[in-house]
Amino acid sequence: MTEQTTGRRVVTNMSLSLDGRYAGPRGPQDMDWVMPYAVTDVARDHLTSLWRPATTALLGRVNAEAFLRIWPPVIGAEGADPRDEGFAKWLLDTDKVVLSSTLATAPWERTTVLDEPAAEVVAGLKEAEGGDILVLSSASVVKALLAADRTDRLTLTVFPVFLGGGPRLFDDGLPAGKWTLVSQAAGEHGTLALVYDRVR
């Protein structure tokens, strides 16, 4: 596997409950619990700090469909938070790579669809020039990169709820390794934004 040659980081971002779940008991689309916390200043500032140094967005198909449906209408919307508009504009304008075994062509501009393992895709992306490669809340992609030890920066927004069921982010059998805490911020409702770098 090709090692990093350009200094590009693979940055994964996920929202988590206190009991370690990224979605509720009804499955991956059970995300209503996130909304009261996602609009806090700490969550918005956290996301802004992630997309600004990134030049590539890496997503799974399901998340790409959701993001590229929800975010574009935010641009120019009355009362939209400038941080939300900034992210929406970045998402439209940046290069996007969508991992999918079912899409034949990309229905979005500046998008490449690949049916390849996530670890191989990021190895190729790291050989090219550019900024961070940001994996946006696509659990299947994040889990695959963690399992392959291809994540350079792990960022989490932790919300103070127990979901009591639903898929977990961290599976048994992940490669052993150390992480260092780069930054932490606490905000409204007890929301935590955490950034960890992989120690190699």
Tens of pLDDT, residues 17-69: 999 999 999 988 888 999 888 899 999 999 999 999 999 999 999 989 989 99
Domain that holds residue 79: 10-199
Encoded tokens for 139: 């659990």
The answer as to whether 174 is a domain residue is yes
> Does the structure show a pLDDT above 50 at 1?
no
The answer as to whether 17 is a domain residue is yes
Enclosing H/E stretch for 183: strand 178-186
Total of domains in the chain: 1
Closest alpha carbon to 141 in 38, 71, 60: 60
pLDDT of res. 5: 41
The answer as to whether 5 is a domain residue is no
The answer as to whether 4 is a domain residue is no
CA distance linking residue 68 with residue 74, whole number of Å:
11
> Does the structure show a pLDDT above 80 at 157?
yes
The answer as to whether 2 is a domain residue is no
Closest alpha carbon to 122 in 37, 78, 58, 196: 58
DSSP alpha helix (H) spans, 14-154: 35-38, 41-51, 61-70, 82-93, 118-126, 139-147
Burial of 49 (C-beta count, 10 Å sphere; 0-12/13-18/19+): middle
Average pLDDT taken over every residue of the chain = 93
pTM of the model: 0.92
> Does the structure show a pLDDT above 90 at 166?
yes
How far CA 191 is from CA of 61, 96, 133, 134, 196, in Å, comes to 28, 28, 25, 21, 17
DSSP character string of 124-168: HHHTS--SEEEEES-HHHHHHHHHTT--SEEEEEEES---SSS-B
pLDDT of res. 105: 87
Binned at pLDDT 50, 70 and 90, residue 199 comes out as very high
Task: Say how many residues make up the chain.
Answer: 200
The answer as to whether 132 is a domain residue is yes
The answer as to whether 1 is a domain residue is no
The answer as to whether 173 is a domain residue is yes
Q: Residue 123 belongs to a domain with what CATH number?
A: 3.40.430.10
> Does the structure show a pLDDT above 80 at 112?
yes
